[in-house]
């Protein structure tokens, strides 16, 4: 589970940096990368929920 949390944190950092580049500098490519990171975060969060529920049983 620790590895999963590390992946989530790393992907979140990618999202934050790219979304800031899009908002502050108008970088369209960064917006694409931010959306990709957001999709990956969604998948990782679902996996975290699944693992967390199993661990709490």
pTM higher than the cut 0.85: yes
Q: Is-contact 18 34, C-beta < 8 A?
A: yes
Q: What is the mean pLDDT of residues 16-37?
A: 97
State what percent of residues in the chain have pLDDT above 90. Answer: 98
First to last CA, the chain: 15
**Residue 51, both tokens:** 């693992």
Cα–Cα distance for residue pair 33/36, rounded to 1 Å: 5
46: Cα separation from own chain's centroid: 11
Average pLDDT, the chain: 96
């Amino acid at each position: 589970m620790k590895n999963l949390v590390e992946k989530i944190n790393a992907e979140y950092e990618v999202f934050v940096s790219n979304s800031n580049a899009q908002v502050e500098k108008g970088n369209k490519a960064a917006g694409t990368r931010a959306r990709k990171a957001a999709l990956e975060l969604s998948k990782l969060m679902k996996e975290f929920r699944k693992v967390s529920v199993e661990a709490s049983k």
